[in-house]
Amino acid sequence: MDCEQLAPLYEEFALGVLEGEERAEVEAHLARACPHCTPGIEKARWVVAQLARMSPEAQPPQSLKRKILDAVKSTGNVAEIAKASPIRAAFPVWAWAAAAALAILTGYSILFARWEIKTRSWPTCAGR
């Protein structure tokens, strides 16, 4: 295949879905630093990366999660799936840190308010 024939395949290669002979052809062009295909693939990878950033974050349905876990259980590789739990990835570390900081600040504010109420000298009503 020549470069012109490979050009329509750049996006599929960048997405990682190109297979077989076509994939091997693109890899061969990249291996010899083809001046046409190399920048074409780089551009396709950039486009794929931008598309990935633009897509909204979504949680897979529980039925899909169950099917994937069942499939992995049947192969006996459960430990690997447990390490890559999508639940952990959906709630990033910075969000946990922010939640912890908010909880500490809220607790401190409540304790300070209680202490202030107990120790403040409240004015009395002079007219009664």
The footprint of Zn ion (CB under 5 A) covers 3, 29, 34, 36-37
CA 65 to chain CA centroid, Å, is 16
For residue 36, give every residue at least 6 positions away whose Cβ sits within 8 Å of its Cβ, in sequence order, or none.
3, 7, 29
Q: Which is nearer to Zn ion, 28 or 101 (CB)?
A: 28
Q: Which is nearer to Zn ion, 11 or 29 (CB)?
A: 29
Q: Which is nearer to Zn ion, 34 or 72 (CB)?
A: 34
Q: Terminal CA-to-CA distance of the chain, rounded, Å? A: 101
The nearest distance, CB 9 to Zn ion, in angstroms, is 11
Q: Which is nearer to Zn ion, 36 or 66 (CB)?
A: 36
The nearest distance, CB 3 to Zn ion, in angstroms, is 3
CA 53 to chain CA centroid, Å, is 10
Q: Exposed, middle or buried by CB within 10 Å (0-12, 13-18, 19+), for 103?
A: exposed
The nearest distance, CB 25 to Zn ion, in angstroms, is 9
The nearest distance, CB 49 to Zn ion, in angstroms, is 21
For residue 32, give every residue at least 6 positions away whose Cβ sits within 8 Å of its Cβ, in sequence order, or none.
none
